[in-house]
Amino acid sequence: MKKLLFTSGILFLSLLVTAQKSDSQFLQPTDNLIVDGLSPIPLSLVKELNVYTNVRSSGFSEWHPKKREMIMSTRFGNTNQLHYLKMPMGARTQITFFDEPVGGATFEPNDGNYFIFRVTQEEMSSVNCIDMIWSMVRLHC
């Protein structure tokens, strides 16, 4: 139980604290974090735990209205991007390539010729379209 609590604490701290470049071999807290009574955390431990904190996830976004196809959201790095899946158990194809998170994909309900989605950039959201026939992104539909 103690090992689980310790590991959970380290994972929590790795999310709150970023490693700054220095000659030190320990994790340095950022200026907005007050650390009192905590033993130094070796950078080697942070690197070992990154395999458990940096995970990829994916989720369902929308079914095509006429075909057995779907849009899904997959996390790459720090952002979610949209992918198109043309058949069950098929390969997914990435269809958005934004630096910021993408979400809320919805097909045009009659024929599914395009879909709209949301991109949040610099604390502002915009609605965008992807034309499925011409494979073209139109910003601000």
Q: Name the pTM for this structure.
A: 0.59
What mean pLDDT comes out for the span 37-62?
85
The residue assigned the tokens 């849009």 is 71
Does residue 24 carry a pLDDT above 90? no
Over its C-alpha atoms, the chain yields an Rg (Å, rounded) of: 21
Residue 41 has pLDDT above 60, yes or no: yes
CB hemisphere CA count around 1 (13 angstroms): 0
Q: How confident is the model at residue 60 (pLDDT cuts 50, 70, 90)?
A: very high
Phi, psi values for residue 54, rounded to 5°: -100, 90
Beta-bridge partner residues of 129 = 116, 138
Q: Is the pLDDT of residue 77 over 90?
A: no
